[in-house]
Chain A
Amino acid sequence: MANPQDKKNQAEGGFVYLPLIAGWLVPGAGHFLLRKWGRGALLAASILGMFGTGLAMDGQIHTGAHDILDMLSMAGDLGTGILYLLSRVMGWGTTLVQVTTGDWGSRFIVVAGLLNVISAVDAHNLRTGRKA
Chain B
Amino acid sequence: MFRPSHFLAVLLFALFASVVFGITQRETPPKMVRYGIYCFVLFVGSAIVLSWLMYFIAR
Best-surrounded residue of B13, B15, B24 (most CB of chain A within 10 A) = B24
Counting residue pairs across A and B whose Cβ atoms lie within 8 Å, the total is 58
Interface size class of B (residues with CB under 8 A): 10 to 19
Grouping DSSP codes into helix (H, G, I), strand (E, B) and loop, the B interface class, with mixed when no group exceeds half, is helix
Which of A43, A101, A108, A112 is the one whose CB lies under 8 Å from B19? Answer: A43
Please indicate the chain A residues that have their CB under 8 angstroms from the CB of B20 in the complex: 43, 46-47, 115, 118-119
Cβ of B42 within 8 Å of any chain A Cβ, yes or no, is: no
Known: A46-B16, A53-B2. 20 other contacts (CB 8 A): A43-B19, A43-B20, A43-B23, A43-B24, A47-B16, A49-B16, A50-B12, A50-B13, A50-B17, A53-B12, A56-B1, A56-B2, A57-B2, A101-B2, A101-B3, A104-B9, A108-B13, A111-B17, A115-B16, A119-B23
Binding site for A on B (CB under 8 A): 1-4, 9, 12-13, 15-17, 19-21, 23-24, 27-28
